[in-house]
Structure 1
Amino acid sequence: AAVGAVCDAARDRLGLHRVEAATVTDNAASQRVLAKAGFERIGTAPGYLHINARWRDHHLFQRLLHDDPPAG
């Protein structure tokens, strides 16, 4: 519910077109949360963040919030 609320605020209050997220490759629980919130996996980033004294690969996800053209 929290991820959905953040996405709603990003669309409705901030006017964002997309939201992205990343998880370490072995974090299946967070990946399930993102999938349930409408995120799709778009790739893998090698050495994305330095965690626990080593560079960790991450799966990248995105959720498109609307198809409206940019303002202005």
Structure 2
Amino acid sequence: FLIMIIVAGISFIAFRNKKKANVEIAKQKLLVETKQKEILDSIRYARRIQNALITQESSFERMLKKLRKN
């Protein structure tokens, strides 16, 4: 009977530790997902800025070509 109590106690402790680990993993996963979203948003914003600058640059080049022709 004592062996059954010891096995049950060890099983309970292992279950509790695993549950704590799963909670910690879930927290870390959420943190990683949040950081990933922030990084992707930043990359998208930088891409929009670069595209706007490239458009302005090509417009500027067209104007320069027109001025050179005149």
Whether TM exceeds 0.5 here: the answer is no
User: Which TM-score bucket, shorter chain as reference?
Assistant: under 0.3
Which protein has the bigger helix share?
2
Q: Name the TM-score, length of structure 2 as normaliser.
A: 0.21
Greater fraction strand: 1
Q: Tell me which of the two structures has the higher relative contact order, counting C-alpha pairs closer than 8 angstroms and 6 or more residues apart.
A: 1
When normalised by structure 1's length, the TM-score is: 0.20
